[in-house]
Structure formats: structure tokens, C-alpha cells
Amino acid sequence: MYSFTPELHHVRIRQEVLDLTADMPRIDQTTELYRPLWEHLGRNGLPGMAIPETYGGRGFDALTTVIALEALGYGHADNGFNFSVAAHLLACVIPLWLYGSEELKSAYLPGLCSGRLIAANGMSEPSSGSDAFSMKTTARSCPDGYCVQGSKTFVSNGPIADTVLLYAATDPDKGFLGGISALWIDKTIHPYSSGDELAKAGLHHSTLGTLFFEDLIVPTRYLVGQEGRGAHVFNRSMEWERTCLGALHMGNLHRLIDRCVKQLRSGFQTGIPRESRQVVMHDLAFIQTRLEAVRLQTYAAAWKMDQQKPAGREAAMAKLAVSELYKQESQRLAEIFAEIGDPDRDAEQSALDAVSSTLYSGTSEMQKMIIAQSMGL
Ligand SMILES: Cc1cc2nc3c(=O)[nH]c(=O)nc-3n(C[C@H](O)[C@H](O)[C@H](O)COP(=O)(O)OP(=O)(O)OC[C@H]3O[C@@H](n4cnc5c(N)ncnc54)[C@H](O)[C@@H]3O)c2cc1C
């Protein structure tokens, strides 16, 4: 039986996150306020919201995670910070919980859930992005475990991370099937170097960087999942990320629509020309319609994950639909706000923040490939 009525605990969690974000300031990661802001969310276990409470998380399922992230995207206008928290949770903390040894989980999950530790995910390299599994970084077997050699780029949180979920080729000849492994890197134990922070148009408070690993010895106990099962770990983390991360974008669009409606209602009363008024009204109605369609699609993908069913196709569809909507409609909203006034530049900044949404977690072309394959093409 279908039901579209929100559960009481979903309503409560949405309100809890909205209350928590109400007083969060916009900050710069160069100030000493950046980590306290992570810890502010961490007091409620939000950086590890999908992790069981025994490790310091909240035990949210995928649907509840989507609803909480949507509230974060709505309530906190700093899209870069929100993106950093979601990347930490979805691409690093969740795979550690799903595939890490008990020793690794006990050692790291409490700090990752409380906001004390920040994690990054190292897959992309200077010469491999969409074709991630053609990576050059190797982790060759050595007497003490693995000797890691190579570099990773476009690493979100990379410049500030305490830990990195690193993907490396343990058997380069085997490639995608059996040749890639995931390793947990603790910067204090396994030192590596970072390049300068990479500049980007938006997501300013999410740091992005390149990491270099030179003859880094990592003991076997830092494997996340079995040797050669890195592709599996990565694909599962991407299922979570593609389903849940777009919730931030939906929350961002929802906030902009609400603000726009509020401003326009007061503007209409003071007399905006009738013709302009109708164009804007129609555009907003269409954006609202698209947003509600995409929200249902995202909730359905999360629901399928919660039924423990493979949801790679639904995750790709949700990611494709949300990111394309976000990029197009945040642009239109920024145009509307440019006419009616955008005092804190929320809409303008959101349009810039949206630019890279069709790239990370796999580009739109890559999502189309996954969907086409699932159609037997
Ligand atoms: C803000 C941001 C944060 C990121 N965070 C992380 C992170 O934390 N960790 C990490 O590992 N990576 C991260 N990335 C990297 C991201 O995953 C890659 O940018 C993405 O996978 C694309 O890789 P690429 O940039 O090398 O582009 P390419 O793979 O070189 O693609 C270039 C263009 O060609 C298209 N293309 C490529 N192959 C095909 C094909 N076979 N068929 C059709 N079209 C194709 C692509 O869709 C794209 O339009 C981040 C990127 C950004 C922008």
C-alpha cells in the first residue's frame, strides 16, 4: 500500500535540524570557527546521522537521512559547509561503518559522528575521473602491509581532513574486478602531503585539494573491506551519495522559492507590472512542480535502499534529476532575485554553488550510462 503521509519521526527530525541550523553563522574555514561548527552538528550526531547510536550516530535509515539533509540545505545557507558534511558522511563514514573492521569502527566512528574528526574520500586522480578505476595510485603488498604510491585530486575536505578513505590498485592487472582496495588513512599515523587548496566558483566553504602519497606504509588492518573489494565499497558509497546528497540541493531550492514568494507577495502589493508578474509566477510554479517531482523520486530511491534492495539505477536517476534541476533552476531563481532584490546574495551564491553538482558523485553523462545499461542498452 502507498502512503505519502510523513511519519511523525520524520517531521520531528526535520524540525530538530531546522532548529539547530537557525543560529548557525556563515563562516570561513580559515577562521577557528570552522571545526566548532562541525562539533555544533556533532552534538546531535549529525555528521554521522546514518551510523548506529552505539558508535555515536543517530541510526537514521536512508529516507530519514534524506529528510535531515534536506532540512540542513533549507536551514543553513552555507552550501559549501553543508556539502562538506554530506561528503564526509556519505562517501567516508558510511562505507567505514558498512565495511570496516570492528577495530577501525570503534576507533574512528565516535570521532567522525561527533564532528571531532573530518574525513575525505580519495578516488579521482589527475588522469582519471569518470573512468575512476583506471587509477594509477598503487598499494603494493610489502612486509608491513601495503606501500602506497600515487596522488588523488579533487578531494573534498582533503586539505583539512584527519582521515581519508583511499582507493588504490592492489593488483593493477585485475583492474575494476578484484584489483582495487579501500584503505583507511589516519593522517597522524600515516603522514601524507597536500597541495594548495583548489579554487572553484562556488561551494567556498568546502575545501578541495590534491593529496600525495609517497612510499606510505599502511598496515593490513587499515583495509576497509577485503583486499580487491574496493570497487564494491566505492559503488555502495556512491549509491548512498547519489541518493542522499541531492537532498541538500532540494532544501536550498525550497528555501529560495519560499523567500521569493515572500518577497514577491510584498512586491505585488506595491505594484509590479502585471506582465512581469505573470512570467515570474509561471516560472515559480514550474520550479515548484519540478522540485516536488524530484523529491518524490529521491524519497523513492531512499525507500528502496531501506528495503535492502539494489538501488543503483534509482540512485543514478535521483542524482541526475536533482543535479540538473538544481543547476537550471537556481540560475532562474538568481535572475528573478536580481530583479526583486537579493540583499545577502543567497540566490546568486546558490547558482554558483550549483555549477559543480552535475560533476561530483559522477557526472550527468555517467548517470545516463548507468540508467541506459539498466534498460538493457
Ligand atoms: C566540487 C567537487 C567535489 C569533488 N569531490 C571529490 C571527492 O571528494 N573525491 C573524489 O575522489 N573526487 C571528487 N570530485 C571529482 C569528481 O568525482 C570528478 O570531477 C568527476 O568524476 C568527473 O571527472 P573529471 O573531472 O576527471 O572529468 P572527466 O571524467 O574527464 O569528464 C569530462 C567530461 O567528459 C564526459 N565523459 C567522460 N567520460 C565519458 C563517457 N565515457 N561518455 C560520455 N561522456 C563522458 C564527462 O561527463 C564530463 O562531462 C569532485 C569534483 C568536484 C567538482
The tens digit of pLDDT for each residue in 237-269 reads 999 999 999 999 999 999 999 999 998 888 655
Q: Rounded to whole angstroms, how far apart are CA atoms 343 and 341? A: 6
CA of 145 to the centre of ligand 1 (A): 31
Q: Is the whole model's pTM more than 0.95, yes or no?
A: yes
Question: Atom of ligand 1 at shortest distance to CA of 132?
Answer: 21
The tens digit of pLDDT for each residue in 271-327 reads 566 677 889 999 999 999 999 999 999 999 999 999 999 999 999 999 999 999 999
* Positions marked catalytic: 241
Instruction: Confirm or reject: Cβ of 359 under 6 Å from ligand 1.
Output: yes
Instruction: Confirm or reject: Cβ of 123 under 6 Å from ligand 1.
Output: yes
Instruction: Confirm or reject: Cβ of 124 under 6 Å from ligand 1.
Output: yes
Sorted by where each starts, the structural domains of the chain and their CATH numbers stand as: 8-118 (1.10.540.10), 120-228 (2.40.110.10), 234-374 (1.20.140.10)
- Supply the angle between the helices 246-270 and 230-244 in degrees, to the nearest 10: 20
* Residue pair 109/55 in contact by the 8 Å Cβ criterion: yes
Indicate the SS3 state at residue 287. helix
List CB contacts of 298: < 8 A, sequence separation 6 or more: 66, 243, 246, 247, 250, 318, 321, 322
List CB contacts of 81: < 8 A, sequence separation 6 or more: 27, 37, 205, 206
Residue 258: half-sphere exposure toward Cβ, Cα within 13 Å: 8
List CB contacts of 119: < 8 A, sequence separation 6 or more: 88, 92, 93, 96, 112, 157, 161, 162, 163, 164, 165
Q: Rounded to whole angstroms, how far apart are CA atoms 68 and 12? A: 10
Instruction: Confirm or reject: Cβ of 350 under 6 Å from ligand 1.
Output: no
- CA dihedral angle for residue 203, residue 247, residue 282, residue 3, rounded to 10 degrees: 180
Consecutive 10-residue runs of the chain (377 residues): their mean pLDDT? 87 97 74 84 96 98 98 96 98 98 98 98 96 94 96 97 98 92 98 95 94 98 98 97 98 97 75 75 97 98 96 98 98 93 93 98 98 97
Residue owning the nearest CA to atom 23 of ligand 1: 129
Residue owning the nearest CA to atom 20 of ligand 1: 129
